[in-house]
Amino acid sequence: MKLHLFKYDTFRRHARMCIEPAIVYKWRNWQDEMLQLLAQREKVIVGGDMRADSPGHSAKYGSYTMMDLETNTVVDVQLVQSNEVGGSYHMEKEGLKRGLEFLDAHGVTLDCIVTDRHPQIQKFLRERNVNQFYDVWHIEKGISKQLEKVCKLKGCEKIRKWLHSIKNHIYWTAASSSSGPERVAKWMSMLNHMQNKHTHEDSNFPACLHGTRRSRDTKKWLAAGTLPYLKLEKVLSNKRIVKDVAKLSPHYQTSSIEVFHSVILRFTPKNVVFPFLGMLCRLYLAALHYNENAGRPQATTAAGRPVFKVTFPKAKKGEYRVREVKTQATFKYVDDLLDLIFDKVFVDPAPYVDDVLRIPIPPSLCAEYDRPEKEEAISSRVSRFNQ
């Protein structure tokens, strides 16, 4: 049809002068309102996690999300470029550090933070005397991977019968305990329970809470000293596992942050390279979208019955999951941005552009290398087939 479309340079000019300034202004206005509410609360429980812009250990960007777990809203997003911290491995710690400093500067008092078990994060929060809990799913995932390997060993096939129970037990341990020693006692009771022993030496949890009942499958019980029991004991009573179980989060988890990370994929696909400011604004857009739609109610049928969906996640390996179907997402933030662009930014872009220009942008990854003259590089190019 020979239609003329605007080129990438034209898009970047519009984005630089209008779209990005409007996004930054809209996000900061919302963020200021949220921070004022958080500062009025005595204690705030936040969750934190980093998302890399590409798989593997060579990511360029790392975005660290701080979420208020009580209201399920994204409070802050920090974007770190790998050359700012000497490599992608250190981006998560730097993102957390910036996020905590940002909340502290706005008078937000933390009760605790829920994270994964990243060693650098553990050490950093311990040195800052910040109360840290671990997300249960991350620990359960690590334990399940180890047990899957053990099940494949000769003579250890019986352990597979206990995998589902062990997964449930770690979630129950976290939800039903009020202290670290109680969590450890309940966790270690699993070893006795699998031997058909239901009283325990630890006074924090002296006996199983289930009633007396006869098992339908008597062959599932493990005997002390046998190969399956010893392999299972080695995994479940590992010093690091026991230490981490004591710090399982009793109430809030970081699953909402994982959902937000999946929302980010719609705005910043991992197979597309974005400039620093473009990536930052897309993260802000994702946060605005998530915060507007996080509290959507469950959809209902015409008869008023709640709607559910049965799925088979790949990670569950054949197990199904029943999920609530939410109502359709809304995009009021888009209307607000369009009104802002046409009514204010177009009229007087200077103050909005100035706010964007004050954002510190790190040098590109290739800035540390000498760039050759293009003609010299072309003339020195030699193919292996025409040397």
pLDDT tens digits for range 186-240? 999 999 999 888 888 889 999 988 877 777 777 788 888 899 999 999 999 999 9
Q: What local confidence, expressed as pLDDT, does residue 383 receive?
A: 58
Q: What is the pLDDT of residue 384?
A: 52
- The answer on 150 and 100 residing in a single domain is no
Does the structure show a pLDDT above 90 at 6? Answer: no
pLDDT in tens, 153-187: 998 888 898 999 999 999 999 999 989 999 999 99
Task: Take residue 112 and report the two structure tokens written for it.
Answer: 């605790």
| 214 shares a domain with 153 | yes
* Number of domains into which the chain is organized: 2
Confidence check: pLDDT of 57 > 60: yes
Q: Which residue has the higher pLDDT, 53 or 281?
A: 281
Looking at the predicted structure, is the pLDDT value of residue 380 above 80?
Answer: no
**Same-domain status, 131 and 156:** no
Residue-range definition of the domain harbouring residue 210: 136-245
Separation of alpha carbons 120 and 127, rounded Å: 11
Dist. CA 96–CA 93, nearest whole Å = 5
Residue 40 and residue 103 in one domain = yes
**21 lies in the same domain as 127:** yes
Which is more confident, 217 or 5?
5
Distance of alpha carbon 387 from alpha carbon 178, whole angstroms? 73
Alpha carbon distance 356, 339 (integer Å)? 19
Distance, CA of 64 to CA of 261 (rounded, Å): 10
66 backbone φψ class: left, alpha, beta (φ>0; ψ -120 to 50): beta
DSSP characters over 264-288: HHHHS-TTS---HHHHHHHHHHHHH
Distance CA 211, CA 42 (A): 41
Beta-carbon contacts of 35 under 8 Å, excluding residues fewer than 6 positions away, are 75, 103, 106, 107, 108
The CA distance from 217 to 321, in Å, is: 25
Q: 121 and 63 share a domain? A: yes
Confidence of residue 320 (pLDDT cuts 50, 70, 90): confident
Q: What is the model's pLDDT at position 317?
A: 72
What digits encode the pLDDT tens for the residues 103-155? 999 999 999 999 998 889 999 999 999 999 999 999 999 999 999 999 999 98
Place of tokens 């550090």: 97
Whole-angstrom Cα distance, residue 190 to residue 165? 9
- Is 363 part of a structural domain of the chain? no
Whether 268 and 128 share a structural domain? yes
Phi and psi of 273, rounded to 5°?
-95, 130
pLDDT at 209: 87
Q: Tell whether 24 and 127 lie within a shared domain.
A: yes
